[in-house]
Amino acid sequence: MSEPTLSPSFLYKIVLPDPSLDMASYGMVIPPSPLDAASGFVHLSTADQVPLTASRFFGDQGEIWVFKLPYTGLKGKTKWERVVHDDGGVDNFPHLYRELKAGADISEVVKLKKDVRHMWIFPEGFLEY
């Protein structure tokens, strides 16, 4: 699949909390998740996709971290691929076919918790298109 007609400014990577990532030095490779390692690429989301992805795949977690990634640095190694969800819905997701590096690829990290309704609380203005 090709990228969207209007390229996003940012993509997002959701990860489980990992204290070692707080100490990551610039350029350090972020270890792939088991799903990323098995798939051979890094699963990413657009700003529109992040809330549902967080609920769908991390709904049983109490905390997640979300990396904000400027798309310009990833564009050449990102493929937009069609994904069919269990409920029959279809979406095109960005998949990064190279390692993700601390600092070099990540412009911001937020640590999210849930509200009383068990919904992830995203900071105002964090999700940008």
**CA distance linking residue 114 with residue 5, whole number of Å:** 33
Find the largest Cα–Cα distance for the chain: 41
Instruction: Give, in degrees to the nearest 5, the angle at Cα 74 between 45 and 76.
Output: 120
Domain boundaries, the chain: 10-113
User: Percentage of the chain surpassing pLDDT 70?
Assistant: 98
Give 25's pLDDT tier (boundaries 50, 70, 90): confident
Token pair recorded at residue 102: 């601390």
Phi, psi for 85 (deg, rounded to 5) = -80, 165
* Burial class of residue 112 in the structure, from the number of CB atoms within 10 Å of its CB (0-12 exposed, 13-18 middle, 19+ buried): buried
Query: Mean pLDDT over residues 106-123, rounded?
Result: 96
At residue 1, the pLDDT reads: 63
Give 3's pLDDT tier (boundaries 50, 70, 90): confident
Give 24's pLDDT tier (boundaries 50, 70, 90): confident
pLDDT tens string 35-91: 999 999 999 999 999 999 999 999 999 999 999 999 999 999 999 999 998 888 899
How many Cβ atoms from other residues are within 10 Å of residue 11's Cβ?
Answer: 25
List of residues 6+ apart from 51 with CB closer than 8 A: 120, 122, 127
**Element holding 95 (H helix, E strand):** strand 90-96
- Report the topology of domain 10-113: ADP-ribosylation fold (3.20.170)
At residue 56, the pLDDT reads: 93
**CA distance linking residue 32 with residue 34, whole number of Å:** 6
